């Protein structure tokens, strides 16, 4: 691969994955603030998925079979480099992988107001690897201390933070302990919890009729068939 092509591939990784993931992250924060659980989980999953794909491409790890499976992405990355991810972030990503990839309320779900902090932490930890600059990867979280500010050159989030007139700035900075111009040791969030039962979980007997008219992922069909089989 020639130098020019290498640069273009890296540009693709940054603009198509990292920059779009930054936008998905801001959308996810807005959804969580509004207690829109399905939208929050979907946008969070999309952000994490694109951050992972950016890291994979920058490191030239073949990932054409990853699809929307965050677990596959993490496993592929594990074959090339060690991601410094906290146990809290790993658990949050696992939950997103289980529920976040379903846009149409195929499965029952639950959400918490404190998930906003989990999202912020996960993005802070993953995004450090979405650059060829090794310096951000050297910055670590320290228990009991505010998260250090990590700035990626030409990053979309950095541009939003620096532009006081950006309409995306307030949703990004609102009660954000990980991104912003100043370090924050404490954030104040509205405590909420929401749990909803999906239509198919309440009435799995409608599965055969529903799939005559709409597409359902094979794992959704398999799960509900197993649930209804005597």
Among residues of the chain, what percentage have pLDDT more than 90? Answer: 56
**How remote is the C-alpha of 208 from its chain's centroid?**
32
Report whether 173 contacts 163 (CB < 8 A).
Answer: no
pLDDT(227) > 80: no
| 78-82, 116-120, 200-204: the lowest-pLDDT one | 78-82
Relative to beta strand 109-112, strand 193-196 is antiparallel
Looking at every residue in the chain, the average pLDDT score rounds to: 91
pTM for this entry = 0.91
pLDDT(163) > 70: yes
179-209, pLDDT tens digit by residue?
Answer: 998 877 788 888 888 888 999 999 998 999 9
Q: Residue 78's CB: how many other CB atoms inside 10 A?
A: 11
pLDDT(91) > 80: yes
| Domain ranges for the chain | 3-196, 198-230
121-132, pLDDT tens digit by residue?
Answer: 999 999 999 999
Distance, CA of 178 to CA of 187 (rounded, Å): 10
| 112-116, 130-134, 185-189, 222-226: the lowest-pLDDT one | 185-189
pLDDT(229) > 90: no
**Of 53, 25, 186, 207, the residue nearest 119 (C-alpha):** 25
Among residues of the chain, what percentage have pLDDT more than 70? Answer: 97
Q: What is the pLDDT of residue 65?
A: 82
pLDDT(214) > 70: yes
Read off the pLDDT of each residue in 101-110 and give the average, rounded to a whole number: 86
Of the spans 62-76, 126-140, 153-167, 198-212, which averages the highest pLDDT? Answer: 153-167
**Of 198, 174, 12, the residue nearest 107 (C-alpha):** 198
Of the spans 141-155, 159-173, 177-191, which averages the highest pLDDT? Answer: 159-173
Of the spans 19-23, 66-70, 93-97, 107-111, which averages the highest pLDDT? Answer: 19-23
- Phi and psi at residue 181, in whole multiples of 5°? -80, -25
The more confident residue out of 136 and 166 is: 166
pLDDT(3) > 80: no
């Amino acid at each position: 691969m020639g130098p020019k092509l290498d640069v273009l591939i890296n540009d693709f990784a940054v603009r198509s994955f990292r920059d779009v993931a930054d936008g998905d992250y801001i959308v996810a924060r807005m959804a969580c603030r509004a207690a829109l659980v399905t939208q929050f989980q979907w946008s969070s999953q999309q952000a994490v998925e694109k951050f992972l794909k950016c890291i994979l491409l920058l490191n030239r790890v073949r990932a054409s079979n990853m699809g929307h499976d965050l677990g596959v992405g993490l496993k592929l990355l594990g074959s090339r480099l060690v991601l410094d991810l906290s146990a809290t972030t790993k658990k949050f990503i696992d939950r997103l992988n289980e529920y976040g990839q379903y846009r149409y309320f195929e499965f029952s779900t639950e959400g918490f107001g404190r998930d906003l902090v989990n999202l912020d932490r996960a993005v802070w930890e993953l995004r450090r690897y979405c650059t060829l600059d090794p310096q951000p990867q050297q910055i670590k979280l320290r228990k009991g201390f505010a998260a250090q500010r990590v700035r990626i050159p030409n990053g979309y989030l950095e541009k939003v933070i620096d532009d006081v007139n950006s309409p995306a700035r307030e949703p990004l900075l609102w009660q954000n302990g990980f991104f912003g111009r100043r370090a924050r040791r404490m954030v104040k969030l509205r405590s909420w919890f929401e749990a909803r039962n999906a239509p198919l979980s309440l009435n799995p007997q409608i599965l055969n009729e529903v799939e005559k008219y709409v597409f359902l992922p094979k794992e959704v069909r398999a799960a509900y068939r197993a649930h209804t089989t005597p």
